[in-house]
Amino acid sequence: MNLPIASENSPPGNGENRPAVILEGVSVRYRAPQERIPSLKEYAIRWLKRQIRYESFWALREISLEVQPGEVLGIIGPNGAGKSTLLKTIARVLTPTSGRVYVRGQVSPLLELGAGFDPELTGRENVYLNGTLLGYSRETIAQYFDEIVEFSGLRDFIDAPVRLYSTGMYARLGFSVATFKRPEILIVDEILGVGDNDFQTRSYERILGFQAQGTTILLVSHSLSRVEEVCSRAIWIDQGKMVASGTASSVVNQYLEQIRRQESRRLGGEMAREPVWRWGNHRLEITRVRFTAGDGSERSMFHTGEALNIHLDYIAHQKIPSPVFGVGIHRQDGVHVTGPNTGAAGLELPDLEGSGSLTFSIKNLPLLEGLYRVSVAAHNQSDTEMYDYHDRAYPFRVDNSGTNLKEKYGLMTVQGEWSFQTTHRVSVPQQANRG
C-alpha cells in the first residue's frame, strides 16, 4: 500500500537548481455520505449502527508537476476540476491519499482570506492570531502591524469586533495579514476580486511586486487574460487530471478551444429541439433551420466578418399564395438587431405547395462577440395570417478569440479607421518690459 505523504522536506536535488515545488503522482480521494443527515445525534446513531453509506470520488488523480523558483504558474479549469484541492495539498492543508509533495521555502496561502479569524475578537487581535497561524512571531507581527493596518484601510475599525465587518473588510484584513512579508512561495486561489476597485488594484500590484522579487507563485484564476498576462507557464486540470501543460498562451488556447467545442455542441442541441415559443395555423410549416459558413460547413460559432447563411426548410400542406418569409436576430439580452423578410427585399415568391427551402445570406457578419438568437416566420402578404413563427429559437455565438479584430466593444463593427495629425505649436514672442 502506498502511504500518503505530504512532505515538509525540501525537494530532491542540489543547490539553487532544485525546484520550489515537486508533486509526484499526487492523488486525493474524498468520502462523502450519500444522504444528508439532519443532526449530529442522528449521525452518531447511524455511525454506531454502521448505517452510513459513503460515496468516494477522486478530486485529483496522479498529478506530477515541478515548479521552479521564481516561476509563475497558472492553474486553469472548470469549477470542480480539482484546482483548489491541488493548492490545498501544496499548502499542506490536505494530505494526499497517495503520492508525495515536496516544498522548498516558506509558503503563504491565499486560499480563504480570514479563514482563521475569530469573529468575537477585534481586528487588532485577529491580526496577531492570523499572523501566528501563518507562522510569524509576535515580535514580527508587532513590527509590521502599522503597515498591515495601513494597507487594509481599516484603521478606524481595527479595534472593532470583526463580526461587524462587511465581507469586503474581512477579506481586506485577511489579505493584508497574509502578504505583509514577501513569501518564497505564494499560493493564490481566485481571491483578487475582493474589496473595492482600489483595493483590488493594490492587491494585484503587491502580487506583481512579489513576482518581480523572485517569489514562486501558483495562481488559480478564471480570468484567462490575467493568466496569460502574468504567468510564464500554465496547467489545465479537468476532473482531477492534468489535461495540458505548457506556455500560458498555448494552454489557454487549448482550454478555450475545448469551451468552444462544448458550446457548439450545446447550441447544436438547442437547434435540434422543438421551439418552445411557436405559434401559427401551420398551413405552411418551417420544418428546419440551420446555419452554415461560407465554405458550406454547418455550425453555430462564427467570427465577425465571416459569411453566415441562414437556411429555412419548409413544407406547405396546401397551396399558399405568395407567402412572405422573414428572420429576426436578437442579442441574448433581447436587443433586436435586425428583421429582414422577403417582402421588404422585393422578392415575391410564387404560390407554394409541398416542400422547399430559402436562404438568407450575410456576406460579412458585422456582429461583435456575444450570443444571438434567430427567430423565423412565414405569413401572408398582408401580415394578417401567421403560418408559422419560431420566436428566438435558434442560437449562434460570435467568438473572436484568436482573431486580430480591431473592434471589441458594442453590438457591431463599423469598420472605421483612425488617423492622427500633430498640430505645430506656435510660439508667441514676449513683449519687452516697459519701464
Give the C-alpha separation, 153 to 173, whole Å: 8
pLDDT at 50 over 80: no
C-alpha to C-alpha distance for 11 and 410, rounded to whole angstroms = 50
Q: Residue 139 has what pLDDT?
A: 93
Tell me how long the chain is.
435
**pLDDT for 165 beyond 60:** yes
Contact 374, 329 (CB under 8 A): yes
Highest-confidence range of 13-27, 213-227, 271-285, 383-397, by mean pLDDT?
383-397
Positive or negative: CA dihedral 338, 344, 346, 347 = positive
Q: Is 110 helix (H, G, I), strand (E, B) or coil?
A: strand
Report phi then psi at 338, rounded to 5.
-160, 160
Q: State residue 8's pLDDT score.
A: 47
Task: Give the 3-state secondary structure of 196-215.
Answer: CHHHHHHHHHHHHHHHHCCC
Give the residue from 372, 312, 366 showing the smallest Cα distance to 342. Answer: 312
Q: What is the pLDDT of residues 287-320, one digit of tens each?
A: 999 999 999 999 999 999 999 999 999 999 999 9
pLDDT at residue 406, rounded to an integer: 83
- pLDDT for 34 equals 63
Domains in the chain with CATH codes: 17-106+183-257 (3.40.50.300), 277-398 (2.70.50.60)
Query: Does the reported pTM lie above 0.85?
Result: no
Assess contact for 270 and 283: CB atoms under 8 A.
Answer: no
For residue 264, which amino acid is it?
A: S
Per the structure block, which three cell numbers stand in for 200? 483590488
Grid cell at residue 245: 501543460
* Cα separation, 165 vs 126, whole angstroms: 12
Band of pLDDT at residue 106, cut at 50, 70 and 90:
confident
> In this predicted structure, what is the pLDDT of residue 335?
94
In the structure, what pLDDT confidence band is assigned to residue 221 with cuts at 50, 70 and 90? confident
Grid coordinates belonging to 288: 428546419
Q: Which element (helix H / strand E) includes 178?
A: helix 167-178
- pLDDT class for 201, splitting at 50, 70, 90? confident
Q: What is the pLDDT of residue 1?
A: 33
332 or 198: whose pLDDT is higher?
332
Question: Residue 73 — very low, low, confident or very high, per pLDDT cuts 50/70/90?
Answer: very high
C-alpha–C-alpha distance, residues 174 and 159, integer Å: 15
Which residue blocks in 134-288 are alpha helix, DSSP H? 138-152, 167-178, 197-212, 224-230, 248-272
On the 0-12 / 13-18 / 19+ scale of CB atoms within 10 A, 300 is buried
Report the pLDDT value the prediction gives residue 302, as an integer from 0 to 100.
95
Mean model confidence pLDDT for the chain:
87
Q: How many whole angstroms from its chain centre is CA 24?
A: 28
What pLDDT, on a 0 to 100 scale, did the predictor assign at position 195? 60
pLDDT at 11: 59
Q: How far apart are CA 145 and CA 139, in angstroms?
A: 10
